[in-house]
Amino acid sequence: MFQATPIGLAVLKDSPFANLEDLINFAKKNPGAVICGGSGTWSGHHIAHLQLSKMAGVNLTYIPSKGAAKSVAAFLGGHVKALWGNSNDLVQHADKIRVLAFGTKAPFANMPDVPTFESKGYPLYASIDRGAGAPPGTPDDRIKILEKAFLEISSNPDVIKQMRRDGFVPLAMGAEASKTYIMEKVKEWAPVVKEFKK
């Protein structure tokens, strides 16, 4: 893996929700009334939505879009009350929105004043991670060549600087570390999918 895109929950600047507590409190009194947009069904955005709903004991409505661009457009157009968005999109539209929380363990560097879900009592860690893969059965020597090339790119200071400026979090994880990370996410997400996918 070479890049993470933290997921945040955002509202428009003129929203009555000044913080995450406001949104949660409103949702408790008005089940289903908080309509959140996001990219895809059973995606990172959808899973984060379900996790927060369960952790906070609220009924939030999720509206999926076919891709981040469409979900952002619907959000900026006022068609949903909140957005589960990728950090790069939230950075790009920072002047129009208020990010309530990020699914990171530490504050997101581009928006250090935005709290994490964890700091608000919700152990929710969500991001859209990107990497490179190879078909099953690819010889180990080929995997090593690809791994070396991608690690060199993802460790390049200029690449790191560009990624950070654009709102991404650089990663430099080799093949085995990536496999371990993926299995940890599968273990975390599987119970959520099993519970809600009925």
Condensed to tens digits (0 to 9), the pLDDT of residues 169-181 reads 888 888 888 889 8
pLDDT-derived band at 104 (thresholds 50, 70, 90) equals: very high
150 phi, psi to nearest 5 deg: -70, -35
CA 166/CA 102 separation, integer angstroms: 16
Q: What is the CATH code for 1-192?
A: 3.40.190.10
The whole-number pLDDT of residue 181 equals 87
pLDDT of 1-57, one tens digit each?
Answer: 567 899 999 999 999 999 999 999 999 999 999 999 999 999 999 999 999 999 999
Query: Which DSSP helix (H) or strand (E) runs through 29?
Result: helix 20-29
The whole-number pLDDT of residue 88 equals 94
The whole-number pLDDT of residue 12 equals 98
Q: What share of the chain is helix, strand, coil (3-state, %, to 5)?
A: 45, 20, 35
The whole-number pLDDT of residue 57 equals 96
Q: Is the pLDDT of residue 198 over 70?
A: no
The whole-number pLDDT of residue 31 equals 97
Q: Across all residues in the chain, what is the average pLDDT?
A: 93
CA 165/CA 157 separation, integer angstroms: 12
pTM, entire model: 0.87
139: helix, strand or coil:
coil
What average pLDDT does the segment 120-138 reach?
A: 92
